């Protein structure tokens, strides 16, 4: 499932992120790439242990915790601390699949869901689309600053070359309570149906109560916690 989340960060938060990032020393992005990805990767990153990365990462994690659509779609058990990348003119990232396991200190994360949070407006650069492949073909993603795309971490994806300007973003992964993307998608659709029905019929409507029970029983059956 691919999902566009609008307004994860406010314009003020985006401006703050860009101001902080502007003052950072960017390094070769291959420092966080696996062996396969390193051969295809050409971008810049803020060092993962930089105080600014931790500060802005906490800001993003706080925003995600207040975003009900992110919680419903990802069903996160834990979220990898956000990283920050930059693609300048001529830079790109060839086709690759993200590493299955990531380490943040001693904590291991299984990367079930990938996320890119855009920090540059589309008018600021040409090229730089995130291109994700699935059974239905290729999907080119280029979102307003503050918006985020979620997609399965198992997806083959790439970043198209920048031909003008600079593209800044935060990227990270979530380990979901639900390992399988198909099951997460079903639960997300069911949750949306419950929310829509409860608005029309009320929380106490027997159908809402029954569907909520089904949702929780499926979550109990499929969850890995």
Q: Which secondary-structure segment (H or E) carries 74? A: helix 68-74
Going residue by residue through the chain (225 aa), what tens digit of pLDDT does each one get? 999 999 999 999 999 999 999 999 999 988 766 666 667 889 999 999 999 999 999 999 999 999 999 999 999 999 999 999 999 999 999 999 999 999 999 999 999 999 999 999 999 999 999 999 998 899 999 999 999 999 999 999 999 999 999 999 999 999 999 999 999 999 999 999 999 999 998 888 999 999 999 999 999 999 999
Longest dimension (CA), the chain: 58
- Quick check: 194 and 212 in contact, CB under 8 A? yes
The reported pLDDT for the residue numbered 37 is 66
The reported pLDDT for the residue numbered 194 is 97
Q: How far apart are the first and last CA of the chain?
A: 21
Domains observed in the chain: 3-176 (2.60.120.620), 181-222 (4.10.860)
- Quick check: 184 and 146 in contact, CB under 8 A? no
**Could you tell me the pTM of the whole model?**
0.94
The reported pLDDT for the residue numbered 156 is 96
Q: Which secondary-structure segment (H or E) carries 133? A: strand 130-134
The reported pLDDT for the residue numbered 35 is 62
The reported pLDDT for the residue numbered 9 is 98
The reported pLDDT for the residue numbered 30 is 80
The reported pLDDT for the residue numbered 40 is 81
């Amino acid at each position: 499932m691919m999902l566009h989340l609008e307004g994860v960060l406010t314009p003020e938060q985006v401006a703050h992120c860009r101001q902080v990032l502007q003052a950072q020393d960017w390094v070769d992005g291959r420092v966080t790439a696996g062996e396969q990805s390193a051969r295809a990767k050409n971008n810049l990153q803020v060092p993962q242990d930089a105080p600014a990365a931790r500060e802005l990462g906490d800001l993003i994690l706080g925003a995600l915790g207040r975003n009900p659509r992110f919680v419903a779609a990802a069903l996160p058990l834990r979220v990898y601390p956000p990283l920050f990348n930059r693609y300048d003119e001529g830079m790109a990232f060839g086709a690759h699949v993200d590493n299955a396991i990531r380490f943040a200190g001693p904590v291991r994360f299984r990367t079930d869901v990938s996320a890119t949070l855009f920090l540059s407006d589309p008018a600021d650069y040409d090229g730089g689309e995130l291109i994700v492949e699935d059974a239905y073909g290729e999907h080119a993603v280029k979102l307003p600053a503050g918006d985020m795309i979620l997609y399965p971490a198992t997806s083959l994806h790439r970043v198209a070359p920048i031909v003008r300007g600079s593209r800044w973003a935060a990227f990270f992964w979530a380990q979901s309570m639900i390992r399988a993307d198909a099951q997460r998608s079903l639960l997300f659709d069911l949750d949306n149906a419950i929310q829509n029905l409860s608005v029309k019929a009320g929380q106490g409507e027997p159908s809402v109560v029954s569907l909520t029970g089904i949702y929780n029983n499926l979550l109990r059956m499929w969850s890995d916690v």
